[in-house]
Amino acid sequence: MQNPETAGDVLLYEKRKSVFPKAVSGPFRRFKWLVMVVTLTIYYVTPWLRWNRGPYAPDQAVLIDLANRRFFMFGIEIWPHEFYFVAGLLIMAGIGLFLITSAVGRAWCGYSCPQTVWTDLYQHVDRLIDGDRNAQLRLQAAPWGPAKIARRLVKWTIYLGIAFATGGAWIFYFADAPTLQHQFWTGAAPSIAYATVGVLTATTLLFGGFMREQVCIYMCPWPRIQTAMLDEKSLIVTYKDWRGEPRGSVKQAKSSAEPLGDCVDCNQCVAVCPTGIDIREGPQIGCITCALCIDACDTVMKQVGRPRGLIDYATLDGSAHEKAGGPPERIVRTIFRPRTLVYLGVWSAIGLALLFALGVRKHIDISVAKDRNPAFMLMSDGQVRNAYTVKLRNMENRPRTMEISMDGLKGAVMWSDDMPQSSAARSLRRTVAPDQAEAVRIYVIAPSHEEEQDFSFNLLAIDKEGGSDSHKTHFDAPEEKESE
Amino acid sequence: MANKKIDSETGVETVGHEWDGIEELNNPLPRWWLLTFYACILFAIGYVIVYPAIPMLTKGTEGLWGWSSRGSLAAETAKAEASRKTLLAQLTATPIEQLAQNPELMRAAVSGGKAAFKVNCVQCHGSGAAGSTGYPNLNDDDWLYGGNLKEIEQTITHGIRQPGDDQTRPGALMPSFGRDGILTAAQIQDTVSFVRTLSGKEQASAGSARGAALYAANCVACHGPDGKGNRQLGAPNLTDAIWLYGDSRDAIAGSVTNAHAGVMPAWTTKLDTATIRMLAAYVHSLGGGEKFGLTPAPASAPTSAPTSAQAAAPAAAAPANAKP
């Protein structure tokens, strides 16, 4: 049997070239550190923040309570019927990505995508255990022996620890974190918690620890979408070939007959790249615009006494302009242009609309479902009865007394199925438990002369804060009898 | 192989066939594909051993684990039965008069009854329990035999006019006044006129005056002098708005002429006590249920209640029907 990886000399697939990025320092590296610390802190700390909501609601600041169908976020509580807030946030996130992409290119990929952040974290672990790029390369080539096995075991254990912490933190968003943590370690947590941690640990380990840049290049759809969204005014990491080429070392430059460019061909930009590409080949899908090559190149340029920015953020338009001899464009002008301003406008408009809706939303709610089988009921005394299932929502974290009354249907009275018909009246009161919806079955009875008609149930909160809601429904009655 | 053909472009061996000049390369399968394939074969062998798989003459192999779809259904059913056991035992032990004192049990009974109603009762009474002509509506407050929990339970348990059940609802048999020649067609029309004045559907007239005398002679024994009926006989109230067979002149004349005698099965032979209690609780909950002790006594009940349908056949009328 032939080696399945090759058929003759033709490779059936491209084998992954291992990437061992070299440590680098500089402003972009510091910025990446900052983003990593901020995003990871948000991720790990958020579920542990407390927020006092009184005795009837959980005190976790951010909680996605799937079992009780509530979403808590600091002072905001979202019910399932208000899911449009979440939809609005998702739309904002989408347009936000458009905005960021059109203004500063693939900044999401380069700095804040979880895949990038965790890959970065794992690469730091590599450098911590195995040493920098050259040591890693040597270890990779070395035959398996006790030292290599020991290093690998230590490294993979740390990998697993990070992956476990990542998966483990996720579940705390869905239940009370301190309780769940105790349950988790004592084996009392729900099996879905263990399954979630297991799956997320495995995916983190696989994607962050081993697949890394392959996820960005082969699996993720976002680079393709972003590539389509970039235009000649988008900031991309650019190797200024008109300045760098022809490349050659400082020594070669001295002995060369014709003048060489600024690029000293030190390969530092390739060595530091976390996705293992050569930026000097031009813009490419593997470039996540993390700008570490800018840091690396600037360091070298400083050492050889040439101006910084041989590799730099630039737009295609700016590059053309600069190539023709013009001054480098100002970044501010590339960021504030009509396209980004339109995105910004749409994004802000949705945000403001959501805030407005949040400010004026009701905290009590009534909805009515009419019995349709039977639609009406003729009683022995000739009166007509209709039945309704009325749902009252109390979205406050305290019990509230509410009054249900009828608007229209003048002669009718109503009662609920847990009270005697003798106490039927034009309105009735219920106390709805805090943060609960309560269904109550209501009978409405009207004298025989009432014809079928529309009317409304009104709901009024009987306390200082007040609030009201109303739901239109229908009263059915027998059709007029045929005359003799 | 002797006649090994190598494709010149790629240097790969071909499978040796040719269709209109098109040949197929014999590339090896990827290793992961082969491994997956072998793994599938191993899995299949294991599956055949532990699960029912191979059809034999009378039945298939049963597999080492003894799994079967019938078996898993039985296990699920047993589990559901076990979870209902306490509730059913509690229901069986609680006399229906005391059901209301246990609101939780009452709620369970009503929802259980709702499910049982959908299986056993909707064929006649309709899915909304609203009935239809000849099949009583269970939502309203008009009851032929009484509408408290105990009376409803009694009706469901023993049925109406069920031969062979001693305690079945008696339901007097109304005579077919027209068909049997007891009254003439004109007399029936007069009687109808009078009956319709009882519930205010017609104004008094010469016909209704004649009908009043006929009513007094033929109908009062069951329907009472004021037309309010008699629950012990299942004789309907003629003064209210609810008419099981219709309230038009034709419908009432038809009832007087040919009479009705609706029947309902005695469910005690088909359902257990707990299910019947659940059904009673559900029917009672539909909005017309009566309280204990509030049952209005018929204004002019006959002094002796007939104990069976046969004994309860005074020459009186009851367009009677099963109304639990």
Identify the contact set of chain A against chain B, taking CB-CB distances under 8 A. 1-2, 4-5, 7-10, 12, 371-374, 377-382, 385, 387, 417, 443, 448, 481-482, 484
**Rounded CA gap, B231 and B245, in Å?**
18
On whether residue B18 sits in a domain, the answer given is no
The tally of CA atoms less than 13 A away on the side-chain side of residue A22 is: 13
Task: State the DSSP code for B64.
Answer: T
Number of A–B residue contacts, CB under 8 Å: 73
A238 contacts A319 by C-beta, under 8 angstroms = yes
The top-scoring range by mean pLDDT among A454-458, A480-484, B291-295 is: A454-458
Which residues are registered as beta bridge partners of A427?
A405
pLDDT the model gives residue A11: 58
**Rounded CA gap, B14 and A339, in Å?**
56
Structure tokens given for B239? 């003064």
**Rounded CA gap, B125 and B135, in Å?**
6
* Predicted confidence (pLDDT) at residue B181 exceeds the cutoff of 50: yes
Domain count across chain B: 1
Q: Which has the closest alpha carbon to A272: A300, A245, A243, A295?
A: A295
Please list, residue by residue across A217-256, b when 16 or more beta carbons sit within 10 angstroms of its beta carbon and e when fewer do.
beebebbeebeeebeebbbbbbbbbebbeebbeeeebeee
Q: Which of B140, B205, B228, B249 to mutate to test the interface with A (most CBs of A within 10 A)?
A: B140
Beta carbons of A8 and B285 less than 8 Å apart: no
Domain around B307: 99-324
Question: Phi/psi of residue A233, each to 5°?
Answer: -110, 10
On whether residue B10 sits in a domain, the answer given is no
Q: How many angstroms away from the CA of B293 is the closest CA of chain A? A: 15
* Predicted confidence (pLDDT) at residue A1 exceeds the cutoff of 50: no
Burial class (CB in 10 A: 0-12, 13-18, 19+), A151: middle
Closest residue in A to B285 (Cα–Cα): A417
pLDDT the model gives residue B315: 38
pLDDT the model gives residue B197: 93
DSSP string, A292-318: HHHHHHHHHHHHTT--S-SEEEE-HHH
Q: At what angle do helices A84-104 and A222-229 cross, to 10 degrees?
A: 60
The tally of CA atoms less than 13 A away on the side-chain side of residue A433 is: 8
**Rounded CA gap, A399 and A429, in Å?**
13
Q: What angle do CA B135, B137, B140 make, to 5 degrees?
A: 155
On whether residue B80 sits in a domain, the answer given is no
On whether residue B39 sits in a domain, the answer given is no
Task: State the DSSP code for B24.
Answer: E
A427 contacts A445 by C-beta, under 8 angstroms = no
Structure tokens given for B152? 């409803």
Closest residue in B to A444 (Cα–Cα): B287
Burial class (CB in 10 A: 0-12, 13-18, 19+), A350: middle
R_g of chain B computed on alpha carbons: 35
Which residues are registered as beta bridge partners of A314?
A236
**Proportion of chain B above pLDDT 90, given as a percent:** 61
B247 contacts A382 by C-beta, under 8 angstroms = no
pLDDT, tens only, B187-235 = 999 999 999 999 888 999 999 999 999 999 999 999 999 999 999 888 9
Mean pLDDT of chain A: 89
Coil, strand or helix: which one is B183?
coil
* Predicted confidence (pLDDT) at residue A49 exceeds the cutoff of 90: yes
Q: Which of A2, A9, A376, A379 to mutate to test the interface with B (most CBs of B within 10 A)?
A: A379
Q: What is the pTM of this model?
A: 0.68
Partners of B28 on chain A (C-beta within 8 Å) are 1-2, 4, 7
* Predicted confidence (pLDDT) at residue B323 exceeds the cutoff of 50: no
Q: Which has the closest alpha carbon to A364: A334, A392, A403?
A: A392
* Predicted confidence (pLDDT) at residue B77 exceeds the cutoff of 50: yes
The residue type at B195: V
Contacts 24+ apart (CB under 8 A), B164-169: B165/B266, B165/B268, B166/B308, B168/B266, B168/B308, B168/B309, B169/B145, B169/B234, B169/B264, B169/B322
**Rounded CA gap, B61 and A172, in Å?**
48
What CATH superfamily is the domain A364-475? Immunoglobulins (2.60.40.10)
Pairing relationship of beta strands A413-416 and A436-446 according to DSSP bridges: antiparallel
pLDDT the model gives residue A12: 59
pLDDT confidence of A326, banded at 50, 70, 90? confident
- Over residues A434-457, the mean pLDDT reads 92
On whether residue B106 sits in a domain, the answer given is yes
pLDDT, tens only, B142-152 = 999 989 999 99
Mean pLDDT of chain B: 86
Compare CB distances from B130 to A4, A7, A373 and report the shortest one's residue: A373
Helical residues (DSSP H) of A264-390, grouped into ranges: 268-272, 292-303, 316-323, 331-335, 338-360
Question: Phi/psi of residue A14, each to 5°?
Answer: -90, 125
On whether residue B301 sits in a domain, the answer given is yes
The H or E element containing residue B85 is helix B69-93
pLDDT the model gives residue A4: 45
Residue count of chain A? 484
- Over residues B21-25, the mean pLDDT reads 86
pLDDT the model gives residue A201: 96
- Over residues A378-404, the mean pLDDT reads 92
pLDDT confidence of B50, banded at 50, 70, 90? very high
pLDDT confidence of B3, banded at 50, 70, 90? low
Q: How many angstroms away from the CA of A263 is the closest CA of chain B? A: 40
| Range(s) of chain A covered by CATH 2.60.40.10 | 364-475
pLDDT the model gives residue A6: 47
- Over residues B44-73, the mean pLDDT reads 92
CATH code: domain of residue B197: 1.10.760.10
* Predicted confidence (pLDDT) at residue A119 exceeds the cutoff of 70: yes
Least confident of A121-135, A192-206, B307-321: B307-321
Q: How large is the ipTM?
A: 0.72
Contacts 24+ apart (CB under 8 A), B196-201: B196/B247, B196/B249, B196/B252, B198/B226, B198/B227, B198/B238, B198/B239, B199/B238, B199/B239, B199/B240, B199/B241, B199/B247, B201/B247
On whether residue B60 sits in a domain, the answer given is no
Q: How many angstroms away from the CA of B145 is the closest CA of chain A? A: 15
Q: How many angstroms away from the CA of A402 is the closest CA of chain B? A: 24
Task: State the DSSP code for A363.
Answer: S
* Predicted confidence (pLDDT) at residue B314 exceeds the cutoff of 50: no
Burial class (CB in 10 A: 0-12, 13-18, 19+), B47: exposed
On whether residue B315 sits in a domain, the answer given is yes
